[in-house]
Amino acid sequence: MSGNVRIIAAIIRKDLAVLWPLAAIVVLLPVLRSDVVLQNLRNENVLAATIGVSVLATMLLIVAVVHQDASASLRDDWLTRPIPRWTMVTAKLVFLAAVVCVPAMAINFVLALADGRSVGEAVMRATSVSHGTLGAILAVVAFAAVTSTLLEAVGALVALMIAALVAQAVPGYVLPEGMAILIAGGEWLSFAPAIYLPIVIAAPVLWLQYGRRRTVVARAIVAGACAVALVPVLTPPAAMFDVLRLLTPATEAGRTAGVALAPGCFPRVATETESGDISDNARRLWHDHQRASVGPHAIAFSTTVAPTGVPGGWKAMIGFAQAFFVDASGRLLHRLQGAHAVLGRPDGVDASVSATHFWLASRTAYEDAQRQSARLRLKYFVSLLEPTALGEIAVDGRRQYISGFGYCSTELDASAGPVSIDCFMRGRRPALVTARWSGETAARETMTRPDYTPAALELLSGAPYRLTLPRLRSGTAPRVTLTAYEARAHVERSVDAPGLLGGPSCSAAYTSTGNTNGEQP
């Protein structure tokens, strides 16, 4: 055994001798977290506790194993022992890989086989790297590396959590829209700094801390990364959408596509009572703080929009919408509160047809807008998706690999409930997958939640996805057609609606060039 390998083995043996109870818990936790066990845990509290303990124990183990030979310390025994510093780093990483990663992989492999997956799929599932998990592990490693005691590390983590909470309380942070960008495919962008910064800074921090013993600089980098990770929390969703646009070069479709106010029952107007209470529906649509911010006698109404100029077969997903009262020169007068229930798009809604949004305007804003002969401006953030792959799967329960979709199977429910399509894909995944019964129109399809993560960030990761289709009336054994889509453009479109609340009647379609006839509630 070479010198370094012998030293690594000695350090790991020593750490195991000290930390084996915690290591044993962490090794066994993947079993508890596995789908098989979780599906049998009907109690949500037990489930949450299991996951909580799992995360806590893993974090504790990481901190403990790094602090066994703390580098930020001035007193640790190992600092004056014949241990090359990179050998120490390697020993700690090998320990963590052996205790945290390898058992999880092995258990995932075994559980996948036990669940009837093929060896190929089981290997793919077991070797898929969750970037979020990797980022979290490396973040804790970095925290542990620049601290010398558990108290210091916990203190730093608590400070970070408080900072995150405080950041969310900053005026101007708009929760419903923030949620919208998460749900509308930009989730990766919101979490990218938190996930990828630890991956990026881990090596430099370890190099500075172990190789150069520059604790202050290493701590500054960790603190800076924490601050940057909080940026998406403070960034307005419109700005996030701009980043998405920058990352996706616009295609011709991006230039021709637009939106138009759709015909139909439009607008609807609701008025609050004197006490500030509004109907149960409105209560569900807006958060308490939104309702509180508009005060009594607020006005609720809806707008419906449909995409235009979208190439055949493409999809237009409305990420989120904003509504304003603007004056004749286009100057913003008031911003309206969007309802979270619609801004947060539920799975399976086809935005290619239309999307309805609900708005809440304070009485003061409304009256002020009236005085200034203002109009309603609606702004939509639209993603255009092109179909890139087509696949078909028989509803026979058989697991099979479908190019472009990964390993898929349909679950046959004897109780005549909906049929679910369960897939797992490693590496680059489509931004959106839809499913419909072969031969049926697109109107009856269901879809996954859009995810515009760049392909480069999906290389080593794998993820399951599930689609549910209502069962066909006929008893034949049908087939399901899957379609994969990729985002080709993210565009922002504005529509000036007629009147302050959208228009005088339910019969006309109003486009962005429409007039501005007002309407009294």
Nearest to 427 by CA among 399, 390, 455: 455
DSSP string spanning 214-231? Answer: -HHHHHHHHHHHHHHHTH
Provide the minimum distance between the beta carbon of 5 and other proteins in the complex, in angstroms, as a whole number. Answer: 11
The smaller minimum CB distance to other proteins, of residues 67 and 345, is found at 67
CB atoms within 10 A of CB 33: 18
Contact flag: residue 207 with other proteins (CB under 8 A)? no
Provide the minimum distance between the beta carbon of 184 and other proteins in the complex, in angstroms, as a whole number. Answer: 49
The smaller minimum CB distance to other proteins, of residues 18 and 162, is found at 18
CB atoms within 10 A of CB 312: 5
Provide the minimum distance between the beta carbon of 64 and other proteins in the complex, in angstroms, as a whole number. Answer: 10
Contact flag: residue 361 with other proteins (CB under 8 A)? no
Provide the minimum distance between the beta carbon of 19 and other proteins in the complex, in angstroms, as a whole number. Answer: 8
Contact flag: residue 150 with other proteins (CB under 8 A)? no
Provide the minimum distance between the beta carbon of 213 and other proteins in the complex, in angstroms, as a whole number. Answer: 6
Compute the distance between CA of residue 200 and CA of residue 193 in angstroms, rounded to an integer.
10
Which tokens is 253 given? 């479709």
The smaller minimum CB distance to other proteins, of residues 82 and 312, is found at 82
Nearest to 405 by CA among 391, 386, 420: 391
Backbone torsions φ then ψ of 72, nearest 5 degrees? -80, -5
The smaller minimum CB distance to other proteins, of residues 148 and 461, is found at 148
Compute the distance between CA of residue 119 and CA of residue 112 in angstroms, rounded to an integer.
8
Compute the distance between CA of residue 112 and CA of residue 262 in angstroms, rounded to an integer.
47
Compute the distance between CA of residue 503 and CA of residue 358 in angstroms, rounded to an integer.
15
Contact flag: residue 151 with other proteins (CB under 8 A)? no
The smaller minimum CB distance to other proteins, of residues 148 and 337, is found at 148
Nearest to 272 by CA among 255, 257, 285, 259: 285
Compute the distance between CA of residue 279 and CA of residue 277 in angstroms, rounded to an integer.
7
Provide the minimum distance between the beta carbon of 86 and other proteins in the complex, in angstroms, as a whole number. Answer: 11
The smaller minimum CB distance to other proteins, of residues 213 and 428, is found at 213
The smaller minimum CB distance to other proteins, of residues 16 and 164, is found at 16
Contact flag: residue 354 with other proteins (CB under 8 A)? no
Compute the distance between CA of residue 54 and CA of residue 35 in angstroms, rounded to an integer.
14
Give one word for 502, left, alpha or beta, with left for phi > 0 and alpha for psi -120 to 50. Answer: left
Provide the minimum distance between the beta carbon of 99 and other proteins in the complex, in angstroms, as a whole number. Answer: 17
Provide the minimum distance between the beta carbon of 10 and other proteins in the complex, in angstroms, as a whole number. Answer: 4
The smaller minimum CB distance to other proteins, of residues 18 and 231, is found at 18
Calculate ∠ Cα 325-327-332, nearest 5°: 55
Q: What residues numbered 208-267 form the site for other proteins, per CB under 8 A?
A: 213
The smaller minimum CB distance to other proteins, of residues 71 and 410, is found at 71
Provide the minimum distance between the beta carbon of 297 and other proteins in the complex, in angstroms, as a whole number. Answer: 60
Contact flag: residue 17 with other proteins (CB under 8 A)? yes
Compute the distance between CA of residue 192 and CA of residue 198 in angstroms, rounded to an integer.
10
The smaller minimum CB distance to other proteins, of residues 18 and 170, is found at 18
Provide the minimum distance between the beta carbon of 140 and other proteins in the complex, in angstroms, as a whole number. Answer: 21
Q: What residues numbered 42-71 form the site for other proteins, per CB under 8 A?
A: 68, 70
Size of the site for other proteins (CB under 8 A): 24
DSSP string spanning 82-140? Answer: S--HHHHHHHHHHHHIIIIIHHHHHHHHHHHHHTT--HHHHHHHHHPPPHHHHHHHHHH
Q: What residues numbered 461-480 form the site for other proteins, per CB under 8 A?
A: none
Provide the minimum distance between the beta carbon of 63 and other proteins in the complex, in angstroms, as a whole number. Answer: 15
The smaller minimum CB distance to other proteins, of residues 2 and 441, is found at 2
Nearest to 473 by CA among 416, 411, 422, 396: 416
The smaller minimum CB distance to other proteins, of residues 76 and 187, is found at 76
What number of CA atoms fall less than 13 Å from residue 116's CA on the CB side?
9
Contact flag: residue 497 with other proteins (CB under 8 A)? no
Backbone torsions φ then ψ of 465, nearest 5 degrees? -145, 150
Q: What residues numbered 69-98 form the site for other proteins, per CB under 8 A?
A: 70, 73-77, 79-84
Contact flag: residue 403 with other proteins (CB under 8 A)? no
Provide the minimum distance between the beta carbon of 419 and other proteins in the complex, in angstroms, as a whole number. Answer: 55
Contact flag: residue 456 with other proteins (CB under 8 A)? no
Stretch that binds other proteins, among 3-11, 184-192, 334-342, 499-507 (CB under 8 A): 3-11
9, 159, 161, 231: which one binds other proteins (CB under 8 A):
9
Contact flag: residue 288 with other proteins (CB under 8 A)? no
What Cα–Cα distance (Å) separates residue 153 from each residue in 99, 150, 159, 173, 181? 21, 5, 10, 29, 32
Span between the terminal Cα atoms of the chain, in Å: 84
Distance of alpha carbon 428 from the chain centroid: 16
Q: Which residues bind other proteins (CB under 8 A)?
A: 3, 6-7, 9-11, 13-14, 17-18, 68, 70, 73-77, 79-84, 213
